[in-house]
Structure 1
Amino acid sequence: MRPVRVALVSLSLACLCLAACSPRYNWREASDNGAHFVVLLPAKPASVTRPVDLDGPKVEMSMTAAEVDGLTFAAGTAELPDAASANRTLDAMRTALLNNIGGQVQSGAAWPGKTEGFARTVDLDARGVSRGRPLRLAARLVARERRVYQILIVGDEKAFTEENIETFFSSFKPS
């Protein structure tokens, strides 16, 4: 009888420990307010839409983001006045992201996930410093017709994992 009691106590303690733990990454499907994309985010997302100047066209950009462990996971989109400005817009987005972290592009990045169906895809892996804090930026910028998308992870390099990169970038699906 004693071994059974020890086993029950051990099982109860294990269940309590598991119940006390909460997953740091609670992946859930999210989209922008206009449902132009869906993506998995690791926590409850927040969304914002604001006007931005993308080196010429001033457009409304919607961003949906979540933060976990010092990393921000974000996806955003904007509709351009015409498809001809998409290349210039992606270049402006790339420059702005690098400037935000005082970043330097590392080796040629190729993030997971589907890229067919886009007119242009730009993958970035950059390191920089913002407010005295070293940061890493993993980003994918894409254009499809008049719509551009920005999918990124930014934060403490030590918090990046291959699993999080794979889950996040692979989950992105434009509508």
Structure 2
Amino acid sequence: MSRSIFKAVSLFAAIVFLIACSPKLDWRTVQSPQEQYTALFPGKPDKLERRIPYLDQEFLQTLEAVKIDEDIYSVSTIQLPAGQSASLNILISQLQNNLLDRAKASGGDVIVEDAFYKTVDRQRLPTKDYFLDLKGGDNSQQLMRVRWINRMAPNGASCIYQISILHTKSDSPNAKTFFSKEEYENFFSNFAPE
């Protein structure tokens, strides 16, 4: 009898130990051939598609996202058909301004920093990272790091990528310090459009 109790307690202790030692982040490479990128997500992302109206037309927007504790890792792709280059710069500007204006209107801060990203073929190109501190009316704080990248396909079509992490519960003094951790940097440095 005591031997079976010992086995049961040992098995229970082993299970607890394995659960405690299992990593919170389960990094996996996600390839999205239709959206033309490869990304490293900290878990299996969910994928949503929708059509977004813009002026007198609609564009396809795809979102792949995963929530780990208080963090939401996401890649949003908007595809513009060939011949829409005039809409490209206006649409990127609107996406940026909507988010940046929201941060400023909440009383938060925005820090912009030069950065680089690599394409699938290892070309290194400049971009900008935006670190946002979003304040809530109930003294809550959310932090966000976001990057926008646009890429032209050989056929003249364009993809606008918004790579972001939103941290929903923060006690950190600022977004730049908070998102300097390796787990967040991995997500940004391992996103590669074609």
> Per the shorter chain, which TM-score range?
0.7 to 0.9
* Unaligned ranges ≥5, structure 2: 1-10, 153-157, 173-177
**Contact 1:62-1:76 within 8 A present in 2 as well:** yes
Question: What is the correspondence of 1:135-174 to structure 2 with a 5 Å cutoff?
Answer: 135-145=142-152, 146-155=158-167, 156-157=169-170, 158=172, 160=179, 162-174=181-193
Matched residue, 1:83: 85
Superposed CA deviations along residues 114-158 of structure 1, whole A, max 9, x for unmatched, are 37576x834211111357431111000011121111100011345
Question: What is the correspondence of 1:16-55 to structure 2 with a 5 Å cutoff?
Answer: 18-21=17-20, 22-32=22-32, 34-53=34-53
- Residue 18 of structure 2 aligns with an amino acid whose one-letter code is A
Compute the TM-score of the two structures, normalised by the length of structure 2: 0.69
- Residue 108 of structure 1 aligns with an amino acid whose one-letter code is V
Q: Percent of aligned pairs with the same residue?
A: 23
Q: In the superposition, relative to structure 1, how do residues 70 and 91 fare at CA in structure 2: closer, same or farther (>3 Å)?
A: same
- Residue 61 of structure 1 aligns with an amino acid whose one-letter code is Q
Q: In 2, distance between residues paired with 1:95 and 1:79?
A: 19
SS in 1 for 2:111: coil
Q: In the superposition, relative to structure 1, how do residues 65 and 13 fare at CA in structure 2: closer, same or farther (>3 Å)?
A: same
* Unaligned ranges ≥5, structure 1: 1-11
SS in 2 for 1:29: strand
Matched residue, 1:9: none
